[in-house]
Copies of this chain bind each other. A is one copy, B any other.
Amino acid sequence: MKENIVIVGRKPTMNYVLACLTLFHQGFSEVTIRARGRAISKAVDVVNIVKEKFIPTAKVKSLELGNERLVTERGEVVNLSTIAITLAKE
Where the two chains meet, the residues of A that have a C-beta atom closer than 8 Å to any C-beta of B are: 37-41, 44-45, 47-48, 52, 60, 63, 65-67, 79, 81, 83, 85
Contacts and interface: CB of A to CB of B under 8 A. Distances in A.
A60 B67 CA distance: 13
B44 A65 contact: yes
Contact of A65 (B60, B67, B81): B60
Q: Please state the number of chain copies in the assembly.
A: 2
B63 A48 contact: no
A65 B42 CA distance: 12
Nearest to A47: B65
16 contacts: A38-B38, A38-B41, A39-B41, A40-B40, A40-B41, A40-B44, A41-B41, A44-B65, A44-B81, A45-B81, A48-B66, A48-B79, A52-B67, A52-B79, A60-B65, A63-B63
